[in-house]
Amino acid sequence: RCPRVACPQSAQYGSCSLRRMSVMEALELLDQLVDESDPDVDFPNSFHAFQTAEGIRRAHPDKDWFHLVGLLHDLGKVLVLFGEPQ
């Protein structure tokens, strides 16, 4: 069993009291930020999530869990909109 490591973000965001949203709402929020790791991209950040999921689906059609991971992999970046650093 892995030990739990306490972190300030867990205490701050773990209760989900700041804001509740669906996955689609979180994906749409991604479009409001400029990703420091890729600032020159001309398309929305949500497009990257769908593009990643679709690429994984094509490469691994039998692993639906992996398609979902591709879609969700950048969702944590919405925390930038709530004051967290990139």
Annotated binding-site ranges for Fe cation: 48, 73-74
Query: Per DSSP, which regions of the chain are E strands?
Result: none
Q: Residues annotated in the binding site, as ranges?
A: 48, 73-74
Q: Which residues of 46-57 are buried (b: 16+ CB within 10 A; e: fewer)?
A: bebbeebbeebb
5 burial (CB, 10 Å; 0-12 / 13-18 / 19+) is exposed
